[in-house]
Structure 1
Amino acid sequence: MALSLCASPASAATAGGVIAWGKQDFAITVPPTAALTGVTAVSAGSTTVLALKGGAVLAWGANNWGANEVPAAASSGVSQIASGWGHELALKNGTVLAWGNDWYGQTDLPASLASGVTAIATSYLHSLALKQNGQVVSWGSRTDVPAAAQSGVTAIAAGADHNLVIKNGGVLAWGNNLYGQATVPAGLSSGVTAVSAGAQHSLALKDGRVYAWGRNNYGQVTVPDAALSDVAGIDAGANHNLAFKTNGDIIAWGSNLVEETASYLLPCGPIFAVSAGENDSFALKENPSAPC
C-alpha cells in the first residue's frame, strides 16, 4: 500500500471532490459530505482515508486507535497528508503531526521532525520524512536510511517494508527485496519525476511513462499501454495501481479482487489526483457530480 499523492502540474483544477470505489469496509468508500468539494489532496490508508480541505484534515473509515480523531493542530495550516495502517500524518509549517496506531512507534516522532520538513510518506508500519537539506528520516518498524539518502533527495515513497526516493533525478531503493521491489531497473538513474511504493512492488514516472517492478502476482507490474505515455501522476496501492493522464483520464491495473480496478467502475475525468489504498481507490475531480 503506497500512500503518496502525485498531482498533475498541467491540471487547471486545484480543488475538487473525492470519488471512491472498491471494497466498502468501514464505509471507507463513502466520503463525508465535507469531502465532496474543496479538497486539494487525498491519501488512502489501510482502513482510514484522509483528505485536505482548506488546510484542515478530514478523516473517515475505521477509527481503530483513534485514526479518525484529527488533532486540533491539524484543523488549519496543513499542507500535506499521509494515511497508514491506523496511523496518520500531516505536515504543518515544516512540522510533522502524527496520531493513531503506535504499536511500532509510528507516532513516536523523531526530534528532527519538529521543523524543516518538506514532505511525508507512510505505509503499514513505518514512515518517511524529507528535510529541507534533502535528508530522509525514517521511523516506526523501519528506521534505516542508507548514506546515499542522507542528502540531495527530492521525493520519497514508503512501501510495506521498502522505500523509494528520487535523488538527482534517479531512483534509490532499500529495504525488503524478496520480490525485487528494491532492485531499480536500468534506465531510471535520471529523468524520474515521481515514485510510489506498493506492498511489494514499485512504480516510477519518467517522461510521462510508468515503470513498474517487484511482485506481479496480480499483474500490478504489468503496465498497460495507456500508462506508457502522457501520464501526469501515479500511486501504488497494496496490489493495484492508479495513474492519471495529462488529459485527466484515469488508468487502473493490478488486483481486482474487490473491483478496485474494474474499468466499468472507474470515474470519468478529468481527474487531477489519485490515491490507491489496500482494496480501494480514490480520485479527485473538480466537479464529481458532473456528467461524463
Structure 2
Amino acid sequence: MPPRRAAAAAAPTRVSARQADAAKQTEQEEESPKANTSAKRTTTATAKKAAPKTAVAKAKVTKTTKTTTVVSKTATKSIPTRPKAQAKGAAAAASKKIPAQSEAKPTKKAASKRKTPFSESSDLSELSGSESEPAAESEPESEEEPEAEPANKRRKTAPAPKAAPKKAIAKKAAPKAVPKATPEKAAPKARAAPRKAATPKPAPAPKTVAPKVVKPRPIISEIPSTRHHVFVFGDGSNSELGLGPTNSTNVKRPRLNPKLSADTVGIVQLATGGMHTVGLTHDGRIITWGVNDQGALGRSTDWEGGLKDMADKEDSGSDSDSEAAELNPMESTPTVIPADKFPEGTKFVHVAAGDSVSFAVTDTGDVYGWGTFRDASGIFGFTVDEEGAIILVQRDPLLVKGLKNVTQLVVGENHAIALDSKGDAYAWGTGAQDQLGRRLLTRFAAAGLAPYRLALPRGKVASIHAGNNHSFAILKDGKVYTWGMNTFGQTAVPENAGEMGSQITKPKLVKALEKRGVTMIDGGLQHSVAVTADGECLVWGRMDGSQLGIDLKTLDLDDDSLVLKQGDRPKALLKPTPVDIPGGCKFVAAASDHTIAISREGKAYSWGFNASYQLGQGHDEDVPVATHIDNTAVRGKELDWAGCGGQFSILTAPAVVTPADVEMTDASPAVN
C-alpha cells in the first residue's frame, strides 16, 4: 500500500477527491495505533476499490513527468512544486494528528458497534490483503512513535520491499511468544509445594493431646479440715452401724466406732441414707458401709466366705442386744471406694445419701453418683443413657451430667437437689409427690432423672434442704421457699393441708417463716424442723407419733389455724412452733419419724419413734418431747453434727488428734 500512496502524491492532479480522502484516512489510521481496528478495515476496503484506478494514474503520471523533463527545465521545476506543497500540507496534518482525529470519529463510532478485538499482527494481515503490501504497517515496530514521523519521510522509505522482511520477522517473532506461555503450563508442577507443606501434618497430632492438659479447673470448694469421732446407735442388723461383722446388731446408746478412728481414717463429713452411710475422709476419699443391694455403696461387696457366725461376742453392757450377728464383712466394715473409680487426681469435698442412692461433690464442682432412685413400685432408675435407655441401678460412681460448679448437694428419700456457685438450684430423681418442683406426666416420668433448674429467683438461693418427699430453699435475703408433699402441712403452707391435691407443684413462698431468720431446715417423712439465727428450734407437720417433741398441753388445740385434727385427735401442727432446747439450738436432723437436735453447748436431744433404739435413749419406747442423750461415750464431748437414717442414728464430735502414719488403702477396710 505505501507505493500506491507515493504514486498518488506524485500526481495529485490526476487522482479523484474520493481517492485522495481514502488515502488520507489510511495514512491517519496507520499513524494512530490507538484507532480502532475495525476502522482500518473500512479504510482498507475503500483503498482496495480505488487501487486499479490509482495504478492507471501512476502510469500516466510517470509518462507526463518524463515528457516534461525532456521539453523544458522550467516545467520540470514547476511540476514538482505542487507535490511539495501538498506534502507539506500532509506533514502539517500529520504533525497535528490529535486535533485532526475528529475526522476519524465517525469511523470509531462504527467500530465501537462491532467490538471485535484484533491483535496488531492480525490487523496487518487483514488490512494488507497480501504479503507484498505491508511496508508502512511494519514501521510501528520501531521505538519511535509513528505519529512523530513526517509523511514525506514515509514516502522516501516507501520503496520498501525492505519492509516486507520486517513483517516477516514480526510474523516469525510472534510464535516466539508461544514458548513464553509454556511456563504457565508448567505451573501445575508448582502445586507439588502443598505436598511438602502437608508433611508437617503429623506434628499437630501431639498438639491435640495438649488441650487435655489444659489449665486446671478452679477449685470452688475446700474439703473440711476437722476430723471427728463417730458415735453410732440404733439398728445394725443390716450393717448400718459399720461396726464390722462380729459386733452386736443393735446398739441402744451412742458408741464410738473404732473402725472410723480419727487418727487413721479422719472422717470430716458424713451423710446417712435409709440403710447405709457415706463418709468423707480428711484426704478427700469416700468411705461407705451398710446395705448394698442396689449399689448404694459404690463398690463391690461380693464375699466368697458366705455368712460368718460371730465367734466372740463383744461385751457391750446395757448398750447392746445379746443376739449374735451374721453380717457380710464387705458391707459391715467401712471401706474406701477404689480411686480408679474416678479420674486421676479427683478430690471430694462433700457427700450426700438418700434411701438407696449416694452422691459426692468434687472440689471443682462436679457430681458423681451411684445406686438408684425408688418409687412406690420399687426401683425407678438412676439416670438415662445417651441412647435414651434408663439405667436402673448404677453400681459404680458415674458423673452426673447437666451439673457444674456445684457447692452444695442434699438428698431426700428419692430425689436430689444441687446448688451451684451462681445461686441456682437443680432437682432430679422421682417426682410422684412433686418433690422435683415441677409436674411430670406419668409417661414422661423418666425425664425427672435429669437435673432441671428449679423455678426459684435466679442467682438468689443461699442454701437448699430436703425432707423425704418435700424440700426447702433459703434465699440470700432470708426468704424461704418450699415444694412437694404437703399432706400433713410439712411444707409450712397451711392451705389445703391434709386434703387431696395438697401437694405444692412448684416452689412457693413460706409466709410463716418470713422474718424468722431461718438458717437451716431438715425434714422427715411428714414433719419438718428448722433452726433460726437466734438459736430457736422450730417444728411443724405431723405430730400423732411424737414427731415434733412438743408437749401437747402447751398448745391451744382449739385453734384450727394452728392444729389439724382428725376427729378430736390432733393430727398435725400447721404453723412453725418452737420446741425447748436448753441453751439454744445450732443443728437439727430428721428421719422418717424421729428427730435429733444439737444444742449450742454441744449436747444432743432426741424425740419421736424409737422402736429400733434410733433415739439413743437406751430403750425402745417413743419419746414425745425433746430429751437429752447422755452416756459415757458422749458425755463431756462437744457434739457438732447428727445424722438420722431409717432405723439408726450417728453423732460426731471434733477430735484433736495427731495423724498416725497408718493410712487407708483403696478397696480395703478402714481399719484392719
Equivalent of residue 261 in structure 2, options 16, 24, 36? 36
Number of the residue aligned with 1:257: 611
The letter for the 1-side match of 2:513 is L
Contact 2:233 2:616 (C-alpha < 8 Å) held by counterparts: no
Alignment equivalent of 1:285, drawn from 653, 666, 672? 653
The whole-number CA distance in structure 2 between the counterparts of 1:104 and 1:131 is 26
CA positional deviation for 1:29: 1.7
Gaps of 5+ in 2: 1-224, 245-257, 300-336, 374-378, 385-398, 439-453, 494-509, 552-578, 620-628, 657-672
- Of 220, 226, 234, 1:14 maps to 226
What residue in structure 1 maps to residue 369 of structure 2?
Answer: 98
- Maintained 8 Å contact 1:121/1:157: yes
Question: 2:293 — aligned with what?
Answer: 64
> Corresponding residue for 2:547?
220
| 1:229 shift after superposition | 4.7
- SS of the equivalent of 1:183 reads coil
Give the whole-Å Cα distance in 1 for the aligned partners of 2:489 and 2:459: 25
Structure 1 residue corresponding to 2:463, chosen from 155, 158, 165? 155
2:456 is paired with a residue whose SS is helix
Q: TM-score, normalised by structure 2?
A: 0.38
C-alpha displacement at 1:198, in angstroms? 1.3
Residues 64 and 101 of structure 1 are in contact (CA less than 8 Å); yes or no, is this contact kept in structure 2? no
Structure 2 residue 411 is matched with structure 1 residue 86? no
Contact 1:160 1:198 in 2 (8 A): yes
Specify which structure has the higher proportion of helix.
2
Query: Shift of residue 222 of structure 1?
Result: 2.9
Q: Percent identity?
A: 26
**8 Å CA contact retained: 1:31, 1:60:** no
Mapped to 2, the partners of 1:107 and 1:270 lie a distance apart of 40
Structure 1 Cα separation of the partners of residues 511 and 611 of structure 2: 31
Paired position in structure 2 for 1:193: 519
CA separation of 1:149/1:174 partners in 2, compared to 1, >3 Å: closer, same or farther?
A: farther
Check conservation: 1:35, 1:53, Cα contact below 8 A: no
Per the alignment, do residues 126 and 51 of structure 1 end up closer, same or farther by CA in structure 2, a change over 3 Å counting? same
- Number of equivalent positions: 275
Q: Which residue matches 1:52?
A: 280
Structure 1 residue 28: Cα displacement? 0.9
Q: How does 1:141-180 map to 2 (within 5 A)?
A: 141-142=430-431, 143-144=436-437, 147-148=455-456, 150-167=458-475, 168-180=477-489
1:118 lines up with 2:407 in the alignment = yes
Runs of 4+ in 1 over 6 A off after TM superposition: none
Match of 2:342 in 1: 73
Aligned AA (1:100): G
Cα distance in 1 between the residues matched to 2:381 and 2:419: 18
* Structure 2 counterpart of 1:174, one-letter code: W
Mapped partners of 1:262, 1:111: distance in 2: 40
TM-score normalised by structure 1 residue count: 0.85
The Cα of 1:230 is off from its aligned counterpart by: 2.0
More strand by share: 1
Shift in alpha-carbon separation, 1:154–1:104, aligned structure 2, 3 A = farther
Q: Is the 8 A contact 2:528 2:539 kept in 1?
A: yes
Q: 2:642 aligns with which of 271, 274, 279?
A: 274
Cα distance change on mapping 1:73 and 1:134 into 2, 3 Å: same
**Rg (Cα) greater in structure:** 2
In structure 2, distance between residues paired with 1:246 and 1:261:
19
Shift of 1:234: 1.1
Residues 177-204 of structure 1 deviation map (CA, whole Å, 9 limit, x = unaligned):
1010112575522311111121111111
| CA distance in 2 between partners of 1:50 and 1:264 (Å) | 25
CA distance in 1 between counterparts of 2:342 and 2:536 reads 38
Two-structure CA RMSD over aligned residues (Å): 2.6
Post-superposition offset of 1:124 = 1.8
Distance, in Å, in 1 between the alignment partners of 2:646 and 2:227 is 24
Distance in structure 2 (CA, Å) of the matches to 1:34 and 1:259? 21
Q: Which one scores higher on RCO, CA 8 angstroms, separation ≥ 6?
A: 1
